Amino acid sequence: MSFSEDAWTRNASIYKAIVDHPFNVELAAGTLDKDRFRNYMLQDGVYLIAYSRALSVAAARANDTAHMVAFAESALNAMVIERALHENYFEKFGIAPDDVLATEPSPTALGYNNFLMATAYHGPFEVAVAAILPCFWVYWEVGTHINKFAGGNNPFTAWIDTYVDEAYAAAVKQAIRIADNIAEDASPTVRDQMHAAFRRGIQLEWLFWDAAYRMEDWPV
């Protein structure tokens, strides 16, 4: 069994909790509260900056030039393509472009950002890739799932379309292949660390949507 197949099987219950979360159920139905989605977009804008940096660090640490190019391109896409989506919604929800830079990360967003950066810088390259993978993969799966139920008048169609786009799917599949390839040559200890990082990443994905739904803020 490949690393990716094993990792997804081990964490299938977390993925189910993600698609069953009220945020994603209501997003699919088009009934999600606009303030909750606005909060999500702002926090996601903050997150994308850290995610792009983590991808850039992974690119710099890669020994294989193909892996280097793949993560460097993904880092660029994280900022260009998804930020373009955000700007579309910023206008719709009355958010100024500078609002993202002025947004303080929620406790969950800060924790996720720090996990990605610490793992990218200090963990083995294989573990860094495993930590980065859930965001790639889960968004593709969630977008595909939601797309089955979303109606034509869904106000969140542009968001859904981004994550079912063929180019995005190709990037996800490429990241999965890289993770599988490097896991094959990893020691049992490093492979275990990869699984731990993947699990933490997918747990943080659930927490990120939950935090957006709860409009999480610093309690003190």
Residue 220 inside a domain? The answer is: no
Q: What is the pLDDT, as a whole number, of residue 82?
A: 65
**For tokens 């990241």, what's the residue?**
175
pTM: 0.94
Residue 204 inside a domain? The answer is: yes
Count of domains observed in the chain? 1
CATH number for the domain spanning 79: value is 1.20.910.10
Residue 102 inside a domain? The answer is: yes
Nearest-angstrom CA–CA distance, 147 and 27: 10
Q: What is the pLDDT, as a whole number, of residue 200?
A: 98
- Buried b vs exposed e over 57-91: b needs ≥16 C-beta within 10 Å? bbbebbeeeebeebbbebbebbbeebbebbeebbe
Residues 96, 90 contacting (CB under 8 angstroms): yes
Q: Which domain holds residue 93?
A: 3-214
CA 110 to chain CA centroid, Å, is 14
Residue 219 inside a domain? The answer is: no
Residue 21 inside a domain? The answer is: yes
Q: What is the DSSP letter of 219?
A: -
Per-residue confidence in pLDDT tens, the chain, 220 aa = 999 999 999 999 999 999 999 999 999 999 999 999 989 988 998 898 899 999 999 999 999 999 999 999 989 888 777 667 667 777 777 777 777 778 899 999 999 999 999 999 999 999 999 999 999 999 999 999 999 888 778 888 888 888 888 888 999 999 999 999 999 999 999 999 999 999 999 999 999 999 999 999 999 9
Residues 97, 87 contacting (CB under 8 angstroms): yes
Q: What is the pLDDT, as a whole number, of residue 126?
A: 97
Centre a 10 Å sphere on the Cβ of residue 111 and count the other Cβ atoms it contains.
15
